[in-house]
Structures are given as structure tokens and as C-alpha cells.
Structure 1
């Protein structure tokens, strides 16, 4: 599973940095450890800078934020990246206990994005539950396969949630690629089990960043791909809302988050991962869900 894989990756990366510090530079343990931490943080800072470079080069028209707001946006996104991939997903069981699924009429099913797992929802799930919702999640694996191959896992989870809660339908909420997988599910299985779809910064028309991504799903999210063309030829079978981030650093051009047939709502300026932890986005989602009959 992804949490174990990511934990082993980070452990191996730190071991390599320590070895370089100790044997290549003959540094003391204190300096070698500091160098390893610096290497870990530096590589992830570089990854974040690449996403922002793509986001700016291929940006859709939007008002300028100014230097200070842009810097805060980028710093918050870097913090969210570290939190997600260094602390949360590798130690997912500590952050994300099993879903609590009491009887409910329309539980929410959260669908994560590219390269992630259900752990990314740990804070938003708490906020949704505090607002009175029953919330389920799913980890889709392997992380870099075709999106179509992940749909059966989502279908199985939806059926489990319905059986456990006694619900006949769920509300689907997908972040990034998760919104595409939710749409693929709807294209295959229709609206029997789904009452509404809400997507968060989903690349409905693809993203230029996918050109340097790993896996078949990255190829499918490339603008103009056959997978996207086939998907966008499908009519939405349920009411849908596309929450769009005009300053996104993973989905660009950012207007590719628009979805024909869905209500388009612009989010406050926020990073692609940071939105999962942002109180404003959580409140927007809670307000939208409150308008859904339950």
C-alpha cells in the first residue's frame, strides 16, 4: 500500500543523505543529520517550485495577487506538501482511523487524487463530521495505473457504504484526479447509487503538469488525451458542482477545472494540496452539502 511504500521511500532517502554526509563529506553525525533533513526538505521544495512554474507558465487569465499574497500561497502549499507526504500518508493509521458509518440517508464518499491515499482527508473528514455528516473514504491502489482500473474499487466502496449505513445513495466528493475517477464511475454505473457530485480542482480538461507525471493515469490526464475526450463526451447523470481554483499549481490551465453541465464555483486563492486543510474550502463544501436533501 502507498503509506508503506512512501515510508520506505523516505527512510531510504534519509539513509542515502546520511551516507553521503558521513562518508563523502566526512561530517559529524550532527551535521550529517542536519544535511539529511535539509536534503529531504530541499527536494520537496524543488518539486513544489516546479508545480508553481508550470502553473504560472500555463496560467489561465486571473487577477494578480501581488508578491506578498503569492509568497504566502506558495509557502502554505509547501507546508501542506510536507504535511501530506512526509507526516500524514506514511503514518496514515495515526491520522486517519477507520471510517465511522452509522445509519445515514446520504453519506459522503471522499475520493482522493493522484499519488495520494485516504489519509489526505483526515482534517476535512473531521470538519464534515462535526457539521453532522457521515463520511466515508477510500484508498485507490496502485497509484499510477489507469484511472479506469480504479473505478471497481470505488464501486466496491460505495456498495459497502450503502450496505453499512442503509443508504440508497451517496454524495461523491473528489479532489483533483478523484473527480475524474468519480465521473468514470458515473459513466459506467449511472446515478443509481449517487445523488450528487462535487469536484475540487479536478482537471476535467487535463493538466499540462501531467506531461511530466508518472504512470498511465498521468498520460490520461494530459490535455487532449483519448481518455479525457471519451470522458467529456459523456453527459453527467447527476447534479454536479465544480469548485475551481484560479491559482492552482497542479491543474493548469486553471480553466481546465471547468466542467460542462456542472455549476462552476471559484474558490479562494489556495494551493492544490493546501485546499484540503483550508477552513474556507471546508466551509464552502459544508454550505453546498447543506443544500443537498439528506
Structure 2
């Protein structure tokens, strides 16, 4: 659903910019095309600027990065945003083939994407995890802006399907952003029989101020002190859990809201919320935290 919607949106957006250039401004085709591309890039630069404005306004205490470090952080996040939402997700099938789930996997890793995304965001991280010997599964949750609780049955079905395909008794859940909340909701509803470990990446366990301007019921549920989050806070995590916290995150703020009581808190290096999915340092950290790959006896 998300890949198709994004593809259609980009086509309509480019057509709109071209129409403005050609028919309203009287530009020739070359100028109109350049203007359309500039509009596409500028719109996404504005979206990114808004996230950084929120990040600085509601920031938790963190070590200063310096001007050069801050500029690298912002630039890499913008490039990751463009890659993800302009190139990867609209053409998801070209970037991420179907999951490879061989029988005999000891404990597959199931990657759960975040808000407004789909399984395509994992294309590079899945490749890195598989290169290290892991069996990796993904899921696309839809519709993208519904209540998080309504997405839990899809995760339940995917976990059962992965276990059936591989013969594994349990999986490790790795959730990015909202994906970590859906993983916790699954555990609260279905228990721990099928999940041995939970790892969350920049998940707004206590909400995010950016949720106040997001679309959909799930954005309302990710607002700080929402009823959904208050209910979830009553559910203790009963399996080994690790919260990878991004002190410079530009989507989850205050950034300390990524802390999960009862979980091992691990601070990430300086990286943006989307860029972390492509960051080799984050991939190496996940490989250190996940159980060693292999097959069942």
C-alpha cells in the first residue's frame, strides 16, 4: 500500500510542478523539468527541516556535536530520506526481493518497520544481516495510518508464518520507531512463546512531540502521555529487551522518550532517524546484540 501510494504521489507532484512551470510561469521544458525536480527536493528539505526544528526545541540533554558534526548529521539524514521515500519505497520490489526463509534456521530475525513506511526500508540492513549468516524476515503493515493495535494481528500472522517456514520455535523482533511499539503490543497480547528477544531502534516508548502533527490514529497514539502509551506502560517486558536510543534523533523527541523500563539501554552514535537504517555502525551493533546465526540441530 505504501509503495503504490508513494509512487502515485510523486507522479502527481511532479506533474503539478511541471504544470506550474509550463502553463503558469511560461517556462520552456528544460526549465520546467529542473523546476519540478527542485520542487520535489525542496518539499522534502522542508519536511526534514521541520523534524530538526522539533528535535532542537524538545531536545533531551546530549553531548554537543559541533557545527561540522551537526551539518553531517542533517545532510546524511536528508539524503537517507530522499533515498527512502523517493527511490526505494516507491520501487520497493526492485530493492527488496521476497524474504529467504530456509528450513532449519535457529532463530530468525523479524524486522518491523516504522510509521509511514513498509518492508523496503530494510533493504540494506537485511543484506548486511544475511551476509553475517542470519535468516531475516520482514513485514509490511497496512494500512499505514491506522491504530497500532489493529496492526498487531498482521505481526502475529507473520511470526507464525516465519516459524512454520523455518522450523524455528522463536524469533528475535527488531522494531524501528513505531515498529518497536507494535512489537511490544504483540507481546502484551500474545505472550512470549514465539519471541526470544526484543530490540527496538529509536522507538518512542514514551511518545514523541512530532506525533502531534502526524497523520492517522497511530500518530495520535504516539503523542506523549496518550492513553495507548499509558496502557502499554503497564505491560512489563518479560523477555530480554534492548532499547537502542538515538540521542540526536529528529523524529522522537524528547529523545530520552526512547528509554524502555526493564530493557538494556544502549546509546547509538550520532545518526538521523532514517539514516540509522543505512548506517554500518548500527548494523555492526545489531550483529553484536543478536544471537549468533546458525541452524538448529
Q: Report matched runs for 1:58-97 at 5 Å.
A: 58-97=58-97
Question: Partners of 1:216 and 1:292 in 2: how far apart?
Answer: 37
Determine helix, strand or coil for the equivalent of 1:197: strand
CA RMSD in angstroms comes to: 1.0
Task: After TM superposition, list the pairs within 5 Å mapping 1:128-277 onto structure 2.
Answer: 128-277=129-278
1:80-127 C-alpha deviation (Å, 9 max, x unpaired): 000000000000000000000002121010000000000000000000
Q: TM-score, normalised by structure 1?
A: 0.99
CA distance in 1 between counterparts of 2:136 and 2:258 reads: 24
Structure 1 residues 291 and 258, CA gap change in structure 2 (3 angstroms): farther
Aligned counterparts of 2:241 and 2:79: Cα–Cα separation in 1: 30
Q: CA offset at residue 2 of structure 1? A: 1.1
**1:237-264 deviation per Cα after TM superposition (whole angstroms, max 9, x unaligned):** 2110000000000000000000000000
Partner of 2:32: 32
Identify the residue that residue 121 of structure 1 maps to in structure 2. 122
8 Å contact 2:18–2:32 — kept in the other structure?
A: yes
Runs of 4+ in 1 over 2 A off after TM superposition: 290-294
Deviations 1:177-200 (A, max 9, x none): 000000000000010100000000
- TM-aligned CA distance change 1:291 to 1:205, over 3 Å: farther
CA–CA distance in 2 between the matches of 1:72 and 1:270?
9
Cα distance in 1 between the residues matched to 2:201 and 2:225: 21
The CA distance in 2 between the partners of 1:30 and 1:21, in whole Å, is 10
* In structure 1, distance between residues paired with 2:78 and 2:259: 25
Q: Which residue of 2 aligns with 1:44?
A: 44
Rounded to whole Å, the distance in 1 between the matches of 2:60 and 2:83 is 28
Is 1:4 matched with 2:1?
Answer: no
**Partners of 1:291 and 1:15 in 2: how far apart?**
49
Select between 231-240 and 194-203 the one with higher mean Cα deviation. 231-240
Shift in Å, 1:290: 3.7
**Preserved CA contact (<8 Å) 2:106 2:293:** no
Residues 287, 143 of structure 1: alpha-carbon distance in 2 compared, 3 angstrom cutoff: same
Distance in 2, matches of 1:293 and 1:177, equals 29
- The CA deviation at 1:176 is 0.2
Secondary structure at the aligned position of 1:17 is classed as helix
Secondary structure at 1:218's aligned position in 2?
Answer: helix
Following the alignment from structure 2 to structure 1, what is the Cα–Cα distance between the partners of residues 239 and 220?
A: 27
Give the aligned partner of residue 14 of structure 1: 14
Deviations 1:8-51 (A, max 9, x none): 00000000000000001000000000000000000000000000
The aligned residue for residue 279 of structure 1 is: 280
TM superposition shift of 1:63: 1.1
Q: List gaps (5 residues or longer) in structure 1.
A: none
Offset, 1:285: 0.2
Gaps of 5+ in 2: none
